[in-house]
Amino acid sequence: MFASYACLRVKLAGDFTPSSSSSSNETNYNIYSYFLGLDRPVIESFPKVVLGESKRLPSSFSDTNTCAICLCEYCVKDSVRCIPECNHCFHADCVDEWLQKSGSCPICRSSPVSTSAGSTPLP
């Protein structure tokens, strides 16, 4: 399984050539980031909140009290980062590391990068 992943990673890295089409660039970037992870500035652009005494997430995001990555309950003063495309939230440290390795939401596997705007094609 690791060999398949390594071959795919090398193939994607070698085959990535931006085209002149903006939508094609966005699609290539999303495919590339799905397998190889996201850049830190992209990850840091996602909303981050510090939980208060109620330990409640903002109302527009998923209402859960457990991080799906580490399976620990959220505590007061935990930093939580939310993925705006799917509204799933996780401990900031957990999801930052996850997204650097895999550019997809740990729960729904959707791309956290909007395909309509904001993505920058790789050089």
pLDDT tens digits for 56-114? 777 767 778 899 999 999 999 999 999 988 989 999 999 999 999 998 999 999 888 87
The neighbouring-strand residues paired with 83 are 88
Neighbours of 115 (CB within 10 A): 13
Task: State residue 112's pLDDT score.
Answer: 85
Q: How many residues does the chain have?
A: 123
DSSP 9-42: HHHHHHH----S-HHHHHHHHHHHHHHH---HHH
Domain 37-113: CATH superfamily is: Zinc/RING finger domain, C3HC4 (zinc finger) (3.30.40.10)
What's the whole-number mean pLDDT along residues 34-62?
83
Parse the chain into domains and list their residue ranges: 1-36, 37-113
Give the Cα separation of 92 and 78 in Å (integer).
8
The enclosing H or E element of 79 equals strand 79-83
